[in-house]
Chains A and B, each alone.
Chain A
Amino acid sequence: MACVYIPVQNSEEEVRVALDQLPRDATDILDILKAEQAPLDLWLIIAREYFKQGKIEQFRQILEEGSSPEIDEYYADVRYERIAILNALGAYYSYLGKIETKQREKEEHFILATQYYNKASRIDMHEPSTWIGKGQLLLAKGDVDQAFAAFKIVLDGDRDNIPALLGQACVEFNRGKYSSSLEMYKRVLQVYPGCPAAVRLGIGLCRYKLGQFDRAKQAFERVLQLDPENVEALVALGIMDLQSNEAYGIRGAMEKMRRAFDIYPYCATALNYLANHFFFTGQHFLVEQLTETALAATTHGSTRAHSYYNLARSYHSKGDYEKAGLYYMASVKEINKPQEFILPFYGLGQVQLKLGDFKSSLSNFEKVLEVYPENCETLKAVAHIYLQLNQTTKAHEALKKATRIDPRDPEAFLDLGELLIATDSGAALDAFKTARNLLKKANEEVSIELLNNIGVLHFERGEFELALQTFKEALGDGIWLKLMDTEPQSDSIGDPIRNTLYQPIDSSLAARKYKDMQLFHNLEKDGISVDLPWDKITTLSNLARLFEQLHKTETASLLYRLILFKFPEYVDAYLRLAAIAKSRNNVPLSIELIHDALQVDDKNPDALCMLGDLELKNDDWLKAKDTFRAAKDASNGKDSYATLCLGNWNYFAAVRSEKRAPKLEATHLEKAKELYTKVLIEHPANMYAANGAGVVLAEKGQFDIAKELFTQVQEAASGSVFVQMPDVWINLAHVHFAQGNFSLAIKMYQNCLRKFYYNTDSQILLYLARTHYEAEQWQDCKKTLLKAIHLAPSNYTLRFDTGVALQKFSASTLQKTKRTVDEVRATVAELKNAVRVFSLLSAASNLQFHGFDEKKIETHVGYCKHLLEAAKVHCDAAELEDQQNRHRLELARQAAIREEESRLAEEQKKVKLEKRKQEDELKKVMQQEQHLERIKEHWKSSGSKRKDRGQSGDEEGGQGERRRRKGSSKKRKRDKKTETHMDDQDEYDDDNANTNYYEPENQVNNQVNNDEDDPQDLLAAAGLEDSDADDDPGAPSAGRRIRGWSESEEDEPEKRPPNSSPVRDNSVDMQLSDGD
């Protein structure tokens, strides 16, 4: 048992003090020490013993007593011991300061420590131990350079001074000079091989920092051999294990960390690593506890940064972005240079991105990029932000770089593809395909969204076969395959699905089959499960749309119905079915389907617009207007399609107004113009609005500007399968016609017919015939009209027009001064035909089925008889022609005169009789007159004042903002997958849908007929006997016929909602409700 002996003053005796039996009250011992004037080294020994026993208070009491002024006085010549006592106190307070976490107390401790050391220095300023103490103190305060100076003083005196060496090694380590630090530690070991384990710890750390991991590991293991409870060594080894990146290593590492934690629960590093571990195992509660402890336990900047980072990450992964952001911020604040610890910057960037603070987010990601310029994840995030900030070029650059750096990252290609969709569908497709191939190579699942996108792009580019394959691949196996597979199948006879599918249906129900769900009920009854996972709806719907495009309408309707069978809330499917029904002229069913859609969502602007259009078709003008208004309101006026519909409505209203009211007409036109302009301001590339604007211009007689506008729209409209704009061709042709440029007009009409209508549109044929008529190409005119009759057999107006054309031809031939016998014979033949046509019309009028007034027809019959007589005369004349040319000429003239007179008489009568039935026509005629006037004025004064708008409206027409990218903020990689697909065609169709118009069928009017009834003709004819007066209403009136919309657009997608994500959400909901 260790003892000290305090010599008793003035005697040989000693007081024996057993060190393990020191009195609890230090005063007892102090009394003895003071009374016996014991040597100071005994004081120190006893104090140290108290310290060792953890009796800090006693330790301090003795040392403080031992450094009191009276002691100084009494022991003035005992210098070394006094210094030792002061140094011990200094070291004690240094330690206190070092471990104290509260800043104020910490500083107080340091101040005390400094005072003691300074006092010691005053006793002997060369005492090395004081300098070492000071060095330690400075190190604790983080004042590395001064600490270096302090230790250097000692080492200059004694280069093997172990404490100084250790201190200096520590200084060098902190300065990052690991090799010189290592040298110091080594020297310590040489000088004092039995030194404590901690020295080897230093060696290990140096080697670790120098990258000599194996030797570092040896060192740490040696430390643990010497001191199995050395926390630092455990932690260090643990970290190294972690870095081995093997499951085994990681397990070992966690084991070591846990041991370190058990030994000393306040080691911040161990806590951080443990927290890190629990973060990955998902035990967030532990993460928070551990990191909070770690934060409480350390002031070391980068350790705290780690702790905050762990905490932030934990909140981040729990979705508490606000808190996560705060902690990331705290973490970032602890970091001096981003190079030291970049992760929190990345995390902060992510959270800010999530919270929509793009600017700050961008600056944080850029910091990451400064350190790691080639980090793909960061590049992708940056690209995403640029996209949000509408800096597509920069976004493109970043993504390009990302794909270049890692050409095997499907994510980057996916993002690139999405970015390019708006601008370059070809490049987008390539990117998507690359992504798909990469995923396939990696044996990863190719998401249905990606395949859907590829399919849609193929679809858009008109590569239908590829689109079909891709959609099928995306959908995989399911009931839909049976429904759509129209390919011959060998086992089709025995297949129950086929059998159900091929069930004959009652023909009276056939027209309603687009609403038929019985089929699926039957299938279910037969025990065949009709399943459709919600995530496949979009693709299935796209596929159905593709079948529509391929004219496999039956299959398309089956697929749409399948969707509705499982998800009756999927509005688009109703609308598509309605569109199919509409294109088949099944208006009642179409309306019914739209009402079904409106029952799901009574504010769906697409449905409302379509309904309005159908109401127009039914000639329900006021209703249509209300519906369009509702559509506009439902979309807060943001749906340009609804606005356009209203514009069109106004235009039609202007053109067809029931009562002739020029004021009303002007108001409607003005309103139409206003609405078109509004759309153009919002979407400068909206071709339909530009077309509408052109129509209004043409209506006002500004043909040149209108023509320019139409030409640009026409150019812009070529390119996508989704943009079909025959109207603009027709309008352009109308303008050519109005300007008297007949041959161009004819070409344009013919091209339009061929390109868009498979030559089946009798209305355009009528325009064409009218142009031939004006160009006096009688045979072409007749043939064109006959073709039109063949296409539209029940349209009697066409027959009437044919009669007029034949008669006009005859009349004009007969008026010629020189003509051949053949010409006259042909003329007579055509006259006979005309007679035949008119008399057939007359006969048919008994049946009242063509809507002409009975009396009008009778007058025509009378007129025809006159014609017939005239024709007979001509016949005779033709016979005489060879011998009596002059005579025949005279006869012919007379005949012509007579014919004119009789016709005039007939017509005047007819005009009166007709008034009731033919009011429309009449109105048009009068409007034309006014137009003529107005247009004439325009000819005079029309400047180019509207030109600017015309151009601006059209310049970007080509590409359009047809697709808007729907942002879903980009999170980390794994979240993103589910969020940032542009998941269906909707987005493309979105604006297409917005820009559809329809022409009401009833717009058809008998243009050629107008000539016949034109009062202007009568006047002209009355004044001049020249029957050519008929031609007068010609050019300007054509503006009247310009039409702005087309039926062909009807099957264009008035479909899907603009946003894809709501679709998905809905679907989820639906599924849930289905589950119930």
Chain B
Amino acid sequence: MKLAWLRSLETAHQDCVWACTWLPPTDKSSGLLLTGSLDETVKLWNPEDLSLVRTNTGHCLGVVSVAAHPSGRIAASASLDSFIRVFDVESNNTIATLEAPPSEVWQMQFDPRGTTLAVAGGSSASVKLWDTAEWKLVSTLSIPRPEGAKPSDKGNSKKFVLSVAWSPSGRQLACGSMDGSISVFDVQRAKFLHQLEGHTMPVRSLAYSPLDPRVLVSGSDDECIHMYDAEGKTLFSSMSGHSSWVLSVDVSPDGAAIASGSSDRTVRLWDPKMRAAVQTMTNHTDQVWGVKFEAVGGGARGSLLASVSDDKSISLYNYS
């Protein structure tokens, strides 16, 4: 289990890079890396040499989130102005512009089958589900108000939703909130299942293990990475070591490792069995907002990991 640095691109964007994801390969193109930045652009990169494939404009204010459809043909990007732009990867034609005021848009993710786009809805304390055929809002999964809360209480502001993740089966969905709680929903029944506690500060990133649908990994401003049993409501382990906020987590395609990006400017690789970081990459010089494994591993040659940072750069590593 190790990371090998492959290449980096300084000044990939004009400003902080805040989001990244991998576009699955299609019959026309191999897998591409998609990044979003404070400079209001979304860029597509060829991972082979980190050459720029295209720059998408059209967003105002910073791009906070990008999502790739499992087909690899469609992608979505969202910015601080709460607009989601859904576009055709190949042509860059806008397929849809989504907004659900007053809900903001933070993290987004397509479900594994590609029928639904889940969007973390910030202050609405809910996850918005968009149908990808009609591009209509089909469901709002709201976090229930805590018991005993008076209706006059100011909203559910502590439950401000920042992050979202689909279970590999697509049946479950988890979202992380400002107060550190993680809410788990049954999507088909549109039902809130339970809350996972343990973090005490905003949960900015969530990821299910691709192999074990029970295992949910979370990263929080409290500097910890937690591994939960999302169904059994138990905390497997809590891993500390980052010296600042954990901004992004992802589980490797083989399910054996966790990658994390942090405000402490490092990318770390964790061995969940040992509950310890096995490797620390220090090539970034500012907060690392995104780490993402390429979903389809390349077999023996391992799979790619991308990281993006406030230092405007993108880095690629080989995970094996």
Contacts and interface: CB of A to CB of B under 8 A. Distances in A.
Interface of A: 486-489, 492, 502, 504-508, 510-511, 513, 550-555, 581, 584-586, 757-760, 783, 786-787, 789-790, 793-794, 796, 802, 829, 832-833, 836-837, 839-840, 843-851
B200 interface: yes
20 contacts: A486-B276, A492-B274, A505-B234, A506-B233, A551-B223, A758-B263, A759-B263, A759-B286, A760-B287, A786-B38, A786-B61, A789-B80, A790-B38, A790-B62, A794-B123, A839-B101, A840-B82, A843-B102, A849-B160, A850-B157
Interface residues of B, number: 67
Nearest to A796: B123
B261 interface: no
B229 A847 contact: no
B123 A554 contact: no
B238 interface: yes
B240 A554 contact: yes
Contacts of B229: 504
Contacts of A511: 180, 197-200
A845 B157 CA distance: 12
Given A584-B200, A786-B61, A789-B80, A794 B235 contact: no
B156 interface: yes
B244 interface: yes
Contact of A505 (B178, B223, B235): B235
A201 B199 CA distance: 92
B238 A510 contact: yes
Main secondary structure of the interface of B (DSSP, over half): loop
Contacts of A839: 101
B15 interface: yes
Given A504-B229, A840-B104, A850-B123, A488 B245 contact: no
Contacts of B238: 510, 513, 554
Nearest to A549: B243
B154 interface: yes
Given A584-B222, A793-B122, A793-B202, 11 more contacts: A504-B235, A510-B226, A510-B238, A551-B223, A554-B275, A786-B62, A793-B162, A840-B104, A844-B123, A845-B102, A849-B157
Given A507-B196, A507-B233, A758-B245, A787 B104 contact: no
Contacts of B233: 506-508
B232 interface: yes
Interface string B265-276: 100000101111
A349 to B, nearest CB: 52
A836 B83 CA distance: 10
Contacts of A840: 81-82, 101-102, 104
Contacts of A554: 224, 238-240, 275
B275 A833 contact: no
Query: Which A-B residue pairs are the 3 nearest by beta carbons?
Result: A849-B155, A510-B198, A843-B102
B228 A849 contact: no
Contact of B274 (A488, A790, A849): A488
A507 B184 CA distance: 13
B192 interface: no
A798 to B, nearest CB: 10
Contacts of A783: 15, 38
Contacts of B198: 507, 510-511, 513
B240 A551 contact: yes
A794 B160 CA distance: 7
Given A488-B274, A504-B229, A847 B240 contact: no
A758 to B, nearest CB: 4
B224 A553 contact: yes
B131 interface: no
Contacts of A488: 271, 274, 276, 278
B68 interface: no
Interface in B247-294: 263-265, 271, 273-276, 278, 286-287
B235 A510 contact: yes
B102 A844 contact: yes
A302 B286 CA distance: 80
B112 to A, nearest CB: 24
A852 B202 CA distance: 22
A816 to B, nearest CB: 23
Contacts of A832: 60
Interface in B297-314: 310
A502 B235 contact: no
A551 B243 CA distance: 5
Contacts of B241: 550-552
Nearest to A759: B287
B201 interface: yes
A849 B101 contact: no
Contacts of B45: none
Contact of A793 (B81, B178, B265): B178
B197 A507 contact: yes
B10 to A, nearest CB: 18
B106 interface: yes
Contacts of B226: 510
Interface in B1-43: 15-16, 18, 38
Contacts of B18: 790
B101 A586 contact: no
B87 interface: no
Contact of A585 (B160, B200, B310): B200
A553 B157 contact: no
B244 A507 contact: no
B51 to A, nearest CB: 27
B95 to A, nearest CB: 21
B81 A833 contact: yes
B102 A847 contact: yes
A759 B244 CA distance: 10
B287 A758 contact: yes
B157 A794 contact: yes
A848 B156 CA distance: 9
Nearest to A485: B276
B126 to A, nearest CB: 11
A570 B160 CA distance: 39
A944 B144 CA distance: 60
Interface in B103-134: 104, 106, 122-124
A759 B288 CA distance: 11
Nearest to A841: B102
A760 to B, nearest CB: 5
B69 interface: no
Interface centre among B106, B123, B195 (most CB of A within 10 A): B123
A194 B239 CA distance: 98
A849 B197 contact: no
Contacts of A486: 274-276
A759 B310 contact: yes
Contacts of A787: 16, 38, 62
Interface centre among A507, A759, A796 (most CB of B within 10 A): A507
Nearest to A830: B60
Contact of A553 (B180, B240, B278): B240
Interface in B47-66: 60-62, 64
B16 A846 contact: no
Contacts of B318: none
Contacts of B178: 793-794
A149 B142 CA distance: 122
Contacts of B85: none
Contacts of A847: 102, 123-124, 155
Contact of A849 (B38, B156, B162, B245): B156
Interface string B136-168: 000000000000000000111100101000000
A759 B286 CA distance: 8
A510 B203 CA distance: 15
A789 B80 CA distance: 8
Contacts of A492: 273-274
A683 to B, nearest CB: 30
A555 B241 CA distance: 10
B240 A555 contact: yes
Contacts of A513: 198, 238
Given A553-B223, A840-B82, A508 B197 contact: yes
